[in-house]
Structure 1
Amino acid sequence: MEKLENEKGYALLIVLFMIVFILTVSAIFMRGSISNAMQENRVDESHLTVMTAEAGVDYTKQLLSNEYFERKQELDSLANSLIADTKKNEQVNYAAIHKQVRDKLDGYLKTRIAQEIYIADYVEFTKPYNYKLISYSFSGSMNPREIIFSGTIEGKRDNKESKALTKRINFKQSFLIPDYSTTSNSGGALVSPSNLVKVYPDNITAPDCPGDKLDSKTCKGSQYGGYKNVKNSKVYFPNGFKVANGNFQVYNSVFFSKETFEVANMNDIEKSTLNLYKNLIINSNVKVLQESTILALGNADFKGQLTVNGNSLVCVGSLSVGKNLTIGIGSKVVYMGDFSKGKKGAGELIKVNSVNELWEKCKLGSNNTNNNLVWPKPTLEDVSYE
């Protein structure tokens, strides 16, 4: 059969078109795959750089924590020596003693961090990732026994072909020396392990409490005394305590109550201890702050929100919280019985089965034969990523 003239070369053109089409589509897919791979690689590098900075934060945290705990025996000895020397001639000024101990610790922490090479140059985490302490400072806080370390760690991925990838983490670490005014050598404010069940002490010789505002008093409180503001005091309530209205403020004080302790509106409990042989009832929101302790061998009924922060303890026979329970890092709530609600925060919520176990988990106050207070574990806070 004779071929038509206009059919010549069509097959070749179709083949060439298909080849070009296939190459084009392949190039597009290859480009997309390469782009995805590069993007995934950049994400992986970014994550690893963040992990490098986090490793630097962990190293710094542990470095200073180790120094803090290594110095505690020396600093306890210094505090006890200062207290003993002062008692010979005058009343002990614990604020001045706390300042001397804190300043001594501050010097040790500054010296330790200054010895590290990673404040001057990057140190290797894992090739090619390195970290460096870009900036840091030490400062005090509203609590005169607290030192705050503020630092910025930079993680870096070295890249000779392009600009180095960096990630930064800002953080603070809090160091709190013990309150030496609550050691057994200075009056035995807290409960001893051998006398846990007998929370209310015998043979109280304190006078009756005067007025409704107590400052620097040691006295017996009336069940319906109408106290509003208690500071720097030790108060015994042989018949318990009940305030039906008004706000009740507690700061740097210790309470002992033989019967139920009930407050309508409780303000923050700061640097204070409540030793309650029976029940606790608080009809409002309450915050337990700054190394405070609540020990109630009976029922503890918090009608509103309960917030426990600042290395504080709440140890109770049974626990009831009407609204939210928030426990900050370094703090804990220990209870017997049932508790159906959950909790917020990084602190501990611990269930126990006996009073003895309650003691073991709480470790209240001066809990060893050397009368040394427990040094709170340093806490990490205000962590932010750049």
Structure 2
Amino acid sequence: MKNLLQFGAGNIGRSFIGQLFSRADYEVVFVDVDQTLISAFNARHSYTVEIRDQENQTIEVKNVRAISAVDVDSVVREIASASIMGTAVGPAVLPRLFPVLARGIQERHAAGAGPIDIILCENLRNAAETVRSGLQPLLPGDFPLAAYMGLVETSIGKMVPMMPDEVRKHDPLMVFAEAYNTLILDHKGFINEVPDVPGLAPKDNMKAYVDRKSFIHNLGHAALAYYAHLVAPEMTYTYQAVEDPELRAWVKIAMWESGRTLMAMYPGEFTQEGLEEHIEDLLQRFGNKVLGDTIHRVGRDLRRKLSAIDRVAGPLIEAERGGLPAPYTAIALAAGLYFLAPGSDNKPFQPDAEIVRICEEQGPEQVIREICGQSDRMIRIVTEIYRSIGREQQNGRLPRQSFGALGDRIASFFLPGAL
């Protein structure tokens, strides 16, 4: 039986990557640090994915086992014998895999096993180059990395909510997900043949689709969360925000700002009609009530989500580079600096609270420059938006008429010669 060695048994690893390969008759071997998950996998050799969408479905994922990431020798042996590998650990954790990957592929090569591909499910721009540059210093100078290990970038479009505490306590392996089940990945990244796994959608211009995911899908999620928290902080779920006509309209404007940027960056790859269909589909999926996705989840982790290479600041940088206006994206960035939506514990994500505090006490300029990577001109624009929000807020809420007026006023800042 073919097998997938999957680093990361979190929500994406279980609900998406492991599920796809298991249904294609692969054994799925998870590598994780969570001993509770590892023990449960090895006791049951299966787990449940509940599809929560217009039509609910229960998927039993079978032929599963797990090993601890701490057991390096076992992980190396699995690398040596795997059919294919995958990662879904997050950009911050990904570099921690480089030493074991380097050792594993050396031992695999020495044993005479063939080349192997690794599917990088990290929502990270330039993920292949990140892994390549991280592995090369750990390998002998003559190791044939480019010919031996295929680095396959992906665009992860599946939405998976945070699991409720009571569900995790009852069944730590169960995961909820939407019905969407297509994994866009880089056709050119494979060294071996693309696996015959239903749901894989290879693309030749992968960078365009990675950016589409970040600039439209992820941006839309972030803008939805940050706008909603400003004007309706009592909202908990993304569907509540999507059902609000004003919020939905503002978010769609921001998504289309990125759409125009993408069309300029990748001529001929995307059409206006295709992006309109994509944006409307995303907004409908954001409004999935039964999925129960929260404003806290899609907005939290400001240091990552507002960074220069991510979903809000990244599109703003590219729009400015292309000379395109993006006032609602700039508003989303400024609004993010006020984001304190509580999670299931009724508290905001603590690192986010620290960023909000710094902006309140010292002004937002340093954060916009150092975390968000914006130009001097954009720092002035976003700072003005931030301060306008502060002036207009009433009891921690921005009046809707103030938000609408802000959008009209900020649009003028993008005219030639403004600010």
Structure of higher CA gyration radius: 1
| TM-score (ref. length: structure 1) | 0.22
Structure with the higher helix share, 1 or 2: 2
Structure with the higher strand share, 1 or 2: 1
